[in-house]
Amino acid sequence: MNNTSQKSKRRILERGFTLVEMMVVVAVIGILGSVVGGKLIGNTEKARKAKAIMEIKEFETQAELYQLNNGKPITALSDLYPEYLKEAPGPDPWGNEYVVTVESDGTVRVTSSGVTSDETEGKAGGQTADWGK
């Protein structure tokens, strides 16, 4: 009987994790968290810029359609809703309003405070139809 009680005591003591094992697990989780977190944090600004560029491209395309149909350029993005856009245009990813500029030749440009003109060239905010010709 004495032998059986010693075995059951030993099993009870062997069930838990040691402090060293717990420290290793916490260290591994911490290392993984710092690696993954660092990657994710760096991509938020890239995602904002990509979203703004996509929205600018869509707004300019719809502004061209508006101008073709109505014979005049838009004065604000709200002119495009609801006929040309499914949803009313909101702020850019940084919370600022998009800026609509109509150039002297009739070209409509949409800009965002978070995206430079270099980043939009060839993607969005760049060349649109030349309405002056």
Report the CATH architecture of 2-120: 2-Layer Sandwich (3.30)
List 99's β-bridge partners, or say none: 111
Above 80 in pLDDT, residue 15? no
Query: Regarding predicted confidence, which is higher, 7 or 22?
Result: 22
pLDDT at residue 3, as a whole number: 65
Mean pLDDT of 28-49: 85
> Model confidence over 89-114: pLDDT tens digits?
999 999 999 999 998 888 889 998 87
Beta-strand runs (E) in the chain: 99-102, 108-111
Predicted confidence (pLDDT) per residue in 46-61, tens digit: 889 999 999 999 999 9
Position 43 scores a pLDDT of 83
| 105 phi and psi angles, rounded to 5 deg | -85, 5
End-to-end, the C-alpha distance of the chain in Å comes to: 104
